[in-house]
Structure 1
Amino acid sequence: MIETNPKVETVRFKKFKWVDIVAPDQAVFAELKRKYKFHELDLEDCASENQRSKIDEYDKYLFIILHFPHFDKRKNAVVIEEIDVFMGHDYLITIHDGVLYPLMDVFERCRSSLKSRKKTMSNGTGFLLYEIVDTMLDHVFFLLDQVSKNIKTIELSVFGSGQEQKDMLRDILGLKKDIITFRRVMGPQRTVIAQLEHKNKRFLPENLDLYFDDLVDKVEKIWGNLESMKDLVISLQETNESIISHKTNDVIKVLTIFSATMLPLTVLTGFYGMNVDLPMGEHPVAYFLIIGGMAVISLTMLIFFKMKRWL
């Protein structure tokens, strides 16, 4: 049996039900409190933003706050999205903002397919929770694969032209921001997933230990990948900054040599530009002698710079 309304959808299978709530208002929270007797602090956590991942255990239900990364196309960046979960013996309630498509796809499959309901919901709410978290972690791996491809692209372009170097710095900083967001999500998540493995067996039977142990392994693998990516991006940034610094030094060196070459010429032209009588100032070939002297001085300085290997 399937029941729907604009903000709340419920899928039932045998004695179990999954209630999915998108962007709830105060009326929905009031109904949850009335029907399920949830603690008001838990409902306040659902209504507020920026809650840390956690798991609270009560006599009749578990309250879990989970966070997962999500790529926001409008911001072109990875953002953090929250899922609030209430899990009892015969029900599981998920509350979210409706942007985590993997979660919504799982619910849609259960809603539209009896086969999916049998696969996902026939082993109780604990297994349903496992399926949801497992799907979301698979999505995290997918996002990390995209980040990894971006890192490889930057690796191949690290010795590009000047403009590419500037663009690359922007891309590297964007990657660093995304990896920081991933780490902010997955750091507290490691603790919560590990706690799920050892929680009260009334809600998570022992036959699910192997499944939740698999979730712990996935989270640790994600964390290990993030550590490697963080180190690699830092190395890429340092390499890119070294290349930019080297190219800047080359430009400064050329400008310095140019200035040093022009300095004696400037002195000479300034000397003969004074409005006083100067040696050979009236000589008919004075102009050519001065030009020739300037050329000799410039050539001598360039030969000196070349001998010093400054050029």
Structure 2
Amino acid sequence: MSSTQKIQFANFIWLNLENPEEKDAAQLGQKYGFHPLDLADCLTQNHRTKIDIYQKYAFLVFLFPVYNEKTREIFGGELDIFIGQDFLITVHRGELKVFNDFFNIFRVSHDAREKYQDKSPEKLLYELLNRLFLYCFPMVDHLIMDSDRIEKAIFAGHERKMVSEILIIRRNITDFRKIMQVHKNVLKKAVVNFKENPIYVMKKTDVYFESLVDFSKEIWDAMDNLKERIEALQQTNESQISFRLSDIMRILTIISVITFPITLIATVFGMNTTHAMPFVDNPRGFWYVIGLMLAIIATMLGIFKKQKWL
């Protein structure tokens, strides 16, 4: 169900569209003269962050990570933004709770709106993106804690249980990296446009957008470290599993080697050649055979131990 909400400031208007339909996109195109491809992007799911710059406005698509607690997956929540001289238009599907809370603060709080009465659309855009970037850091911290938990479990002997956990965390790290990959470049292009295009009031000496670029770098560096770490943990886990399997195979091989001569002796004494069989007529013959088997076992165990195979 589509919904449109509006907040009026002194210098610009903030228009928020949630789950827009084709008629909503058509109305925006007629009123503001937006490019048809930009409007089409608002109606479909985009898979990358981007910016399209025009003379009278800029169109930005931002993807931010959203965690699904049921499936334990991270997917990209999309926010489409049109920004011009006297308007800020946001289009989304309600996936980003931080954005929804931010908009509702301005919608219900007169004091929050008063702080931006003399501000420009790009200043409000900065505050909005700042909230979204700060919201990413707890997710990064959660992935770090997941990696710590996996590392402890691996060295505690639970490597088999960690196979699926590692795959889940590695998938989430890969998806997170894919979502945040081009944010830095898009922000740099946006800053250059805001400073050079005369329709915006942002000055060349203003540096507040630079903090967003720094945030994107910090997040990317953290995800790079996490990627390397989870790959190392996966290799360690596989090595632990391989070592345990090798250890099991070694023990089974030793058992089979020990039992082979015993089985051979038992087979020989089970033959129906009673007249030629030693110990057959001896009342203690059974115990002699058992003693011979035990001697063979002890000898072979001694050899294996001397060779450090045990």
Report the TM-score, using the length of structure 1 for normalisation.
0.92
Which residue of structure 2 lines up, in the alignment, with residue 294 of structure 1?
293
Q: Is residue 44 of structure 2 the alignment partner of residue 44 of structure 1?
A: no
User: How many equivalent pairs are there?
Assistant: 305
* 1: CA distance, partners of 2:168 / 2:128: 29
Specify which of 240, 259, 277 is matched with residue 279 of structure 1. 277
Counterpart residue type for residue 291 of structure 1:
I
Q: 1:254 to 1:139 in 2, by over 3 A?
A: same
Q: Is residue 220 of structure 2 the alignment partner of residue 226 of structure 1?
A: no
Which residue of structure 1 lines up, in the alignment, with residue 167 of structure 2?
173
* 2: CA distance, partners of 1:148 / 1:274: 67
Q: 1:20 to 1:72 in 2, by over 3 A?
A: same
Report SS of the residue matched to 2:229: helix
Percent identical pairs in the alignment equals 32
Which sits farther off after the overlay, 297-306 or 119-128? 119-128
Which residue of structure 1 lines up, in the alignment, with residue 190 of structure 2?
196
Q: 1:133 to 1:29 in 2, by over 3 A?
A: same
Which residue of structure 2 lines up, in the alignment, with residue 21 of structure 1?
17
Q: Is residue 204 of structure 2 the alignment partner of residue 210 of structure 1?
A: no
* 2: CA distance, partners of 1:19 / 1:181: 30
* 1: CA distance, partners of 2:205 / 2:251: 69
- Superposition pairs of residues 1-311 of structure 1, within 5 angstroms: 7-120=3-116, 122-161=118-157, 164-199=158-193, 200-201=196-197, 202-203=199-200, 205-206=202-203, 209-277=206-274, 278-280=276-278, 282-283=280-281, 284-311=283-310
Counterpart residue type for residue 307 of structure 1:
K
Counterpart residue type for residue 282 of structure 1:
V
Contact 1:265 1:294 in 2 (8 A): yes
Q: 1:251 to 1:179 in 2, by over 3 A?
A: same
* 2: CA distance, partners of 1:274 / 1:194: 89
Q: Which runs of 5+ in 1 are unaligned?
A: none
Counterpart residue type for residue 230 of structure 1:
K
Which sits farther off after the overlay, 280-289 or 251-260? 280-289
Which sits farther off after the overlay, 279-288 or 81-90? 279-288
* 2: CA distance, partners of 1:133 / 1:257: 64
What are the superposed Cα offsets for residues 109-164 of structure 1, whole Å, 9 maximum, x if unpaired?
11011221233564111011111111110011111011111122223332112xx2
* 1: CA distance, partners of 2:269 / 2:73: 64
Q: Which runs of 5+ in 2 are unaligned?
A: none
Q: CA RMSD in A?
A: 1.8
* 1: CA distance, partners of 2:54 / 2:229: 43
Q: 1:56 to 1:109 in 2, by over 3 A?
A: same
Report SS of the residue matched to 1:11: strand
